[in-house]
Amino acid sequence: MVGKMKAYREMTKQELEQEVVALKAEYKKFQDMELSLNMARGKPCMEQLDLSMGMMDALYSGADLSCEDGTDCRNYGVLTGIREAKELIGAMMENKPENIIIYGNSSLNVMYDTVSRAYTHGVMGSTPWCRLPRVRFLCPVPGYDRHFAITEYFGIDMIPVPMTPEGPNMDLVEQLVANDDTIKGIWCVPKYSNPQGYSYSDDTVRRFARLKPAARDFRIFWDNAYGIHHLYDDNQDYLIEILEECRKAGNPDMVYKFASTSKITFPGSGIAAIATSRNNLEDIETQLSRQTIGHDKVNQLRHVRFFKDLEGMKAHMRKHADVIRPKFEAIEETLEANLDGLGIGEWTKPKGGYFISFDSMEGCAKRIVDRAKKAGVTMTGAGATWPYGKDPHDSNIRIAPTYPPLDDIRLAAQLFTVCVRLVSAEKLLEEVKEAC
């Protein structure tokens, strides 16, 4: 597995056969280790979770659970969230407290409810989507499977739009949105995108804000899940704030922005939020007042008392970065050491977020993920990063390095590169044989 950097496509049939034999032996060694590692989902590891244990002491039986304005957080009420939480999350999202609703524990739930509300009741007075013969969403690909699962569940047609390192192909987005009023939305992870770790360029964000959608009820679903999730102190991506940009462009109501503390404190026990225009908020609040009396204010207060302010959050995020940065680097080093120059894969080198995106040769992703699985390493299912789980190139694989311990990450990355090489060599051999 060392030093050989001849591109696979330049190999003779015999060289490929030798490669396969060597790689199978290598693969066998991994199988014998009986690994059981999971790189499927963007889950924080135990060391990261430990960072937030102090939050369990932020409130205690002797504490006053009142807000600054006197509201008793223990009782019913305050539909849109306590002021302090709006200020904290507002600072994190770069939005004013006035533009924010604090929800429960899951921004995915907020996104689902947002699509569901548009489906049942429309958007700011538009025809409910369930009454329309066809509703479509643009889906930058590769993208986030749980986004696609929501739109699929509501029977919304999904149109893939290619991602670039600058963001989605905006020529295509502009053209589609302007000419087709069945297109009601687009799923975006604008910063440290899932799975690439790309951040939308200034130009991309400005073009988003200046879209001229044919549909009055078109909305950008701006899932800023990784807004402060940097891996490095000195080398960070910057994203233009979309609400303000939309306002300046005369499209104040065109965006729903989502965020949460799921990957800041505890996944599943954090707080989620939407930031959007007052018009959209009024629309949402009409529905929300039927759905609930209010979200968990005690947990909102707990987060505020724990972090105090955005600086507290940023200091906390640096600790997260210290835990997961070595894992990202280990993956990248291994990919580079074992695959560079072979012409059988490309991968991203994100400066934040939770994923690395890997593109194999066409038609190899499923087999690579399958191979890895059979040697005890679970990756995100091949295809998951495309609408309906169907990657037309069968090439994209999402790598989630955060959860396993660092030593396991090294092993898993080694195995992964063996699988990539083995599957690629076998694929090329098949092609050579077919050509004969």
Q: Quick check: 127 binds its own copies (CB under 8 A)? A: no
Q: Quick check: 57 binds its own copies (CB under 8 A)? A: yes
The candidate with the shortest Cα–Cα distance to 271, out of 293, 235, 302, is 302
Q: Which is nearer to its own copies, 11 or 271 (CB)?
A: 271
d(CA 321, CA 327): 10
What is the smallest separation between the CB atom of 16 and its own copies, expressed in angstroms?
41
Q: Quick check: 63 binds its own copies (CB under 8 A)? A: yes
Q: Are 11 and 353 in contact (CB under 8 A)?
A: no
Q: Quick check: 431 binds its own copies (CB under 8 A)? A: no
Stretch that binds its own copies, among 8-16, 53-61, 352-360, 392-400 (CB under 8 A): 53-61
CB burial of 149-186 (b: ≥16 within 10 Å; e: otherwise) equals ebbbebebebbbbebeebbbbbeebbebbeebbbbbbb
The residue from 22, 35, 124, 130 that contacts its own copies (CB under 8 A) is: 130
Q: Are 360 and 324 in contact (CB under 8 A)?
A: no
Which residues, other chains included, contact 38 with Cβ-Cβ below 8 Å and sequence gap of 6+?
Answer: 377, 378, 403, 404
What is the smallest separation between the CB atom of 182 and its own copies, expressed in angstroms?
18
If one counts every other C-beta atom within 10 angstroms of the C-beta of residue 21, the result is 11
The residue from 24, 127, 153, 430 that contacts its own copies (CB under 8 A) is: 153
Q: Which is nearer to its own copies, 154 or 174 (CB)?
A: 154
Phi, psi for 54 (deg, rounded to 5): -60, -25
Q: Quick check: 179 binds its own copies (CB under 8 A)? A: no
DSSP conformation letters of 203-236: HHHHHHHT---SSTT-EEEEE-TTTT-BS-SSS-
CB burial of 311-345 (b: ≥16 within 10 Å; e: otherwise) equals eebeebbeebbebbbbbbebbbebbeebbeebebb
Cα angle value 4/360/436 (rounded, 5°): 75
Subset of 287-316 contacting its own copies (CB under 8 A): 287, 289-299
Question: Using CA of residue 236, residue 240, residue 242, residue 243, what is the dihedral sign?
Answer: positive
Q: Quick check: 150 binds its own copies (CB under 8 A)? A: yes
The residue with tokens 């007052």 is 278
What is the smallest separation between the CB atom of 329 and its own copies, expressed in angstroms?
23
For residue 45, the 8-state DSSP code is P
3 state DSSP class of 330: helix
Q: At what angle do helices 406-435 and 13-32 cross, to 10 degrees?
A: 150
Q: Which is nearer to its own copies, 63 or 214 (CB)?
A: 63
Stretch that binds its own copies, among 111-119, 219-227, 316-324, 391-399 (CB under 8 A): 111-119
Phi, psi for 333 (deg, rounded to 5): -60, -45
What is the smallest separation between the CB atom of 365 and its own copies, expressed in angstroms?
24
Q: Quick check: 113 binds its own copies (CB under 8 A)? A: yes
Q: Quick check: 269 binds its own copies (CB under 8 A)? A: yes
Q: Which is nearer to its own copies, 150 or 220 (CB)?
A: 150
What is the smallest separation between the CB atom of 44 and its own copies, expressed in angstroms?
7
Q: Quick check: 426 binds its own copies (CB under 8 A)? A: no
Q: Quick check: 232 binds its own copies (CB under 8 A)? A: no
Q: Quick check: 54 binds its own copies (CB under 8 A)? A: yes
What is the smallest separation between the CB atom of 37 and its own copies, expressed in angstroms?
16
Q: Which is nearer to its own copies, 36 or 175 (CB)?
A: 36
What is the smallest separation between the CB atom of 22 and its own copies, expressed in angstroms?
39
Subset of 81-110 contacting its own copies (CB under 8 A): 104-106, 108-109
Q: Are 9 and 428 in contact (CB under 8 A)?
A: yes
Cα angle value 329/330/336 (rounded, 5°): 85
The candidate with the shortest Cα–Cα distance to 238, out of 249, 223, 247, 227, is 227
User: Residues 2-41: x/- map of binding to its own copies (CB under 8 A)?
Assistant: ---------------------------------------x
Q: Quick check: 165 binds its own copies (CB under 8 A)? A: no
d(CA 145, CA 128): 25
Q: Quick check: 266 binds its own copies (CB under 8 A)? A: yes
Subset of 211-230 contacting its own copies (CB under 8 A): none
Residues in contact with its own copies by CB under 8 A are 41, 43-44, 46, 49, 52-54, 56-57, 59-63, 65, 72-77, 104-106, 108-109, 112-113, 116, 119-121, 128, 130-131, 146, 149-150, 153-154, 262, 266-269, 287, 289-299
